[in-house]
A = this chain, B = another copy of it.
Amino acid sequence: MVVLIKDLLEGDRTTIQALVGSSSTGTGKNGNPYLSVELRDNSGSIACKKWSPSESDKEILVAGNIVEVSLTVKKFNNTLQGDIQSPRLLELDDIDVARFIKPSPIPKEELIKRFNKLKDSIENKDCKALLEYFLKKFGDKVYISPAASSVHHEFSSGLLMHSVCLAEHADYFAKYYNDINRDLLVTGALLHDFGKLIELEGPAIYKYSTEGKLLGHISIMCGELRIASKELNITSEIPVLLEHMVLSHHGQLEFGSPIMPLTREALLLSIIDNLDSKMMVLDKAYEDVKPGEFTQRIYSLDNRSFYKAK
């Protein structure tokens, strides 16, 4: 039977499977060394200690690993804390990673349905071919990857959710304003962040790969589009326009785009990308705030505190 972290109680002695969220060494007042470890599953998280860790313990209790441990649960300063015994590394083949990371607010299945509906609405054959190419190339990673590398705020299928929301906004504005190549805009919205599938490495906690740190998801995806277009023998200007949208979607040089938007589609994409990202940040920040109160300072919003209207 699976024990969920959210169900742990003071005094429990039990065995759980969990993802190591973070890990660091320390020394107690008594001079004994310990590892300070955060364990998580998709129900919650708990701070733990492994006292007098062996070399083997240190290799197992590493951020990103999925482990099985014996746990004694105590209360300290009104908070539950666990003492770890006998940590054991689980093989990824044996386990369902999804059990250990927070799910997206919208169910993955619904997101896939909306993604496919958008894809099926594309009539331009070059756009369609490129979409198919990348779905095939990246496979299931498209459906499960988070949209950001943060160890703390990521959730499963985050990339998928962000792509779908942007593409739906793209569809809305393509109908609202003149002179917009709708298929180009929707395709760009669906693909713009796919470079993150190479920039970030999982399986459970996503971190920047060396390639990700040295190139960034923008340049990676631009290069991948170039390869794809060559392999698919596309001769229209669609590939250059998509590469441009990918390159410019951060909107400003200082935000990592090497070029600013120079087409209406690229300009729109950069604005709605900004809009959706900020809405996701606010969703998170408002979570713990009551109407009539201010949030904590939000780093990615210029360190401002936001007010939640009554």
Binding site for B on A (CB under 8 A): 27, 29, 31, 33, 77, 165, 168-169, 172-173, 176-179, 181, 184, 210-211, 213-216, 218-219, 222-227, 230, 237, 240-241, 243-244, 247, 253-260, 262-265, 267-268, 271-272, 274-275, 278-279, 282-283, 286, 292, 294, 301-302, 304-310
Contact = CB atoms under 8 A, between A and B. Distances in A.
Given A224-B226, A226-B227, A268-B275, A307 B184 contact: no
Nearest to A294: B213
A211 to B, nearest CB: 5
Nearest to A243: B215
A214 B262 contact: yes
Given A226-B223, A237-B310, A279-B177, A258 B305 contact: no
B262 A271 contact: no
Given A223-B226, A227-B227, A286-B264, A210 B307 contact: yes
Nearest to A78: B33
Most central of A184, A211, A253 by chain B CB within 10 Å: A253
Contact of A213 (B215, B262, B292): B262
B219 A247 contact: yes
B179 A305 contact: no
A211 B168 CA distance: 28
Contact of A256 (B258, B263, B272): B258
Most central of A214, A225, A260, A301 by chain B CB within 10 Å: A214
A305 B164 CA distance: 30
B258 A267 contact: no
Contacts of A258: 216, 218-219, 247, 256-258
Given A178-B283, A247-B258, A268-B279, 13 more contacts: A211-B240, A214-B240, A214-B241, A215-B240, A219-B243, A223-B226, A226-B226, A227-B227, A254-B254, A260-B304, A262-B305, A265-B309, A268-B275
Nearest to A286: B179
